[in-house]
Amino acid sequence: MTHTLIGRRVAVLDKGFIELLDLMPHPAAAVSGDLAIVNAARVSFLGESKGDTQDKKLLFYLLRHRHTSPFEMVEFKFRVRAPLVTFWQWVRHRTWNLNLQSGRYTEFEENDFYVPEIWRRQSASNKQASEGEIATADSAALTDSLLKHYDASYALYEQALAAGVSREMARLFLPGFATYYTAVLKVDAHNLMHFLHLRLAKEAQHEIRVYAAAIYEHFFRPALPWTAEAFEQYILGAAE
């Protein structure tokens, strides 16, 4: 139920999470998110709800014909903990508002590094993608090497701090793309659907696709059930 969404936290990857901090309209408001979209569309001629059947029909019409501005009237605010390899792709969606943890202000912990469950092979047909898995024996050896690399990197980081090196420079010793950061992010429903369309695709990198899936299943669909249904039909399904 929508009133339980705010404060909900979902675990992602090995140490990450995504938490809904706020939602507009608030779940306690008299108007649901889907109805807020419909009402925003009807303001063009000063109308409001005409009942569920007509309201849902209008919402589907809006998305089918890409009348997207009413979907900007709903906003989601999240707290996200993810490795930098995920944020590196996330920030390409410049329609998100983002404030990221700073290693200049806070020290990193020894366990703040991403350890993948599997090692994926390079795709033979897609230069930027992966497919399949590395053999189990090789995978175990790779994970062991990665953990040793993290231990050595963190030891150098601590050594630099102990020597009086500033936090902003000591972090140079850390394994950049693997380091977990926490961020607060905000986005409207229209731009969130664009993000989901791209990052739920099978071609998207696993480390961001799992966050997109968590957002969709645990937050977007419960908050906007009509919009989610239309999104699946007209955008994910590419049906007209």
SS3 string, 10-78, reads EEECCCEEEEEEEEECCCCCCCCHHHHHHHHHHHHHCCCCCCHHHHHHHHHHHHHCCCCHHHHHCEEEE
Look-up of token digits 């938490």: 19
Is residue 209 among the annotated active site residues?
A: no
Sign of CA dihedral 214, 220, 226, 229: negative
Q: To which residue do tokens 């993290």 refer? A: 150
Helix runs in 163-236, H state only: 167-170, 189-199, 206-215, 221-223, 225-231
- Please, which residues bridge with residue 12 across strands? 16
Beta bridge partners of residue 111, listed in sequence order:
none
Report residue 114 CA to chain centroid gap.
16
Residues 69, 188 contacting (CB under 8 angstroms)? no
Strand order in the sheet with 180-188: 9-12, 16-24, 75-83, 180-188, 97-100
Q: Which of 214, 173, 172 is nearest to 192 (CA)?
A: 214
Quickly count: other Cβ atoms within 10 Å of residue 211's Cβ.
24
Q: Which of 81, 199, 209, 221 is catalytic?
A: 199
Q: Which residues are catalytic?
A: 199
